[in-house]
Amino acid sequence: MKISTLLVPLVLLVSVVGLAQNKSTKRAGIPAVFQTAHSVYVEADSGDTTRPGMYAEDREAISNVESGLQEWNRYTIAPRRDQADLIVVVRKGRFAGEQVHDGLSVGTRPMIPGSARPAPMGSGEEVGSEGEVDQKDDLLMVYMVSSDGDLTGPIWRREMVKGLDAPKVELLRQLRKSVDRAYPMQASGKNSVP
């Protein structure tokens, strides 16, 4: 009888500690979508790599992040934005500059969520130049995709000087550390849906 009297409080204590650890994971500020997501799409704040006139540094940052995601092996890289559970948006830091492009455009363009830049033109062409504000820090943001295809968030955002430079890609390493701490991967090497 004495063993059972001691065993019940011990089991309750272990259960309470387990619940407290789960609550602290949620307090870490990492949404559960990072656990349930399977695919990501990476683009620059000015659009995807097919956008004419994209900064070469942003293209390189996209490539660096995609390589880091493949190494992480937690998510697959979606070939198209509409096939992704999460959208990773990057911007390479740079000083004020000018970007010139050719063509002609009529009308207005919607703004990219979380950016001061307009969305890339679909099939039209444009003429003119865009000014770039002085933003020396690299930026990595993660968005969720709503059922109608709109971006929600950012649900995770960090900036730092040279944070998108290979081989470290430190901003992605910070995301990886936060997600893996909040939602450890199963032994199979991929995250599983509970």
Phi first, then psi: what are they for 44, rounded to 5°?
Answer: -90, 165
pLDDT of res. 21: 45
Residue 166: C-alpha distances to residues 7, 50, 163 (Å): 53, 22, 9
Single pTM value for the model: 0.67
pLDDT of res. 116: 54
Mean pLDDT for the stretch of residues 133-151: 89
Q: 23 pLDDT band (50/70/90 cuts)?
A: very low
| Best CA proximity match to 123, nearest among 106, 111, 140, 142 | 106
> How is 16-66 classified by DSSP, letter by letter?
HHHHHHHHHHHHTT--THHHH--EEEEEETTB-TTSTT--HHHHHHHHHHH
pLDDT of res. 59: 96
Radius of gyration, CA atoms only, the chain: 21
Confidence check: pLDDT of 90 > 90: yes
Q: Is 171 helix (H, G, I), strand (E, B) or coil?
A: helix
pLDDT of res. 7: 47
pLDDT tens string 149-174: 899 999 999 999 999 999 999 999 99
Mean pLDDT for the stretch of residues 22-44: 80
Q: 100 pLDDT band (50/70/90 cuts)?
A: very low
Confidence check: pLDDT of 194 > 70: no
Tell me which residue has tokens 């790599």: 49
Mean pLDDT for the stretch of residues 106-131: 52
Q: Is 12 helix (H, G, I), strand (E, B) or coil?
A: helix
Q: Worst-scoring range by mean pLDDT, 63-72, 99-108, 182-191?
A: 99-108
pLDDT of res. 162: 96
pLDDT of res. 167: 95
Q: Where are the domains of the chain?
A: 31-182
